[in-house]
């Protein structure tokens, strides 16, 4: 049986309709691809708590308002990921790559030009429909 990861993912959109993305380290699964910030949910956390903790740990932002956007289950050859995707509408702080990862505020219209893991393609499609159509 494949390992299954529960991952909290934040779509953080600023007032200029740019979304925060991070580049994965080369040694990580799906290395050197862009991703939306987030990480593994701990067993004792609610879904919202996981998003808030991960975003604070990874990029130094305080999530003040977020709502569920979608859930995605994606099979990679070596594992299955369950993405719990949240749309963050209010946050405070300055985004910093606290794990040494490059961060970019990417215009929504340019997301599809970046290379993301396959599991993220549905998120980009949803964002395009929400903001650009």
> Tell me, what CATH number does 116's domain have?
3.90.79.10
In this predicted structure, what is the pLDDT of residue 76?
83
67 annotated to bind ligand: no
- Give pLDDT, residue 133: 66
- Known binding residue 35? Answer is yes
37 is in an annotated binding site: yes
Name the token pair of 117: 């893991």
The whole-angstrom separation of Cα 84 and Cα 40 is: 10
Q: Which token pair is 75?
A: 């099979």
CA nearest 19: which of 114, 133, 100? 114
pLDDT along the chain (133 residues), means of 10: 88 94 81 91 94 97 96 88 94 95 95 90 92 75
Structurally, the chain folds into a number of domains equal to 1
- pLDDT on residue 29: 67
Q: Which domain holds residue 53?
A: 3-131
| Cβ neighbourhood burial of 80 (10 Å; 0-12, 13-18, 19+) | middle
Phi/psi-derived region of residue 47, left when phi > 0, alpha when psi is between -120 and 50, beta in every other case: alpha
> Is residue 68 annotated as involved in ligand binding?
no
Predicted pLDDT of residue 101? 94
Q: Where are the beta strands (DSSP E) in 15-78?
A: 18-23, 34-35, 38-40, 62-75
């Amino acid at each position: 049986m494949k390992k299954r990861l529960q991952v909290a993912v934040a779509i953080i959109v600023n007032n200029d309709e740019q979304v925060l993305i991070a580049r994965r380290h080369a040694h990580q699964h799906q290395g050197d691809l862009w991703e939306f910030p987030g990480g593994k949910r701990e067993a004792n956390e609610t879904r919202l708590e996981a998003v808030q903790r991960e975003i604070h740990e990874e990029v130094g932002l305080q999530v003040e308002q977020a709502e569920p956007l979608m859930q995605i289950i994606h099979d990679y050859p070596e594992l299955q990921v369950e993405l719990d995707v949240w749309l963050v509408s209010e946050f405070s702080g300055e985004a910093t790559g606290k794990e040494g990862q490059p961060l970019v505020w990417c215009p929504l219209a340019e997301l599809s030009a970046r290379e993301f893991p396959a599991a993220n393609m549905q998120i980009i499609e949803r964002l395009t429909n929400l903001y650009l159509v």
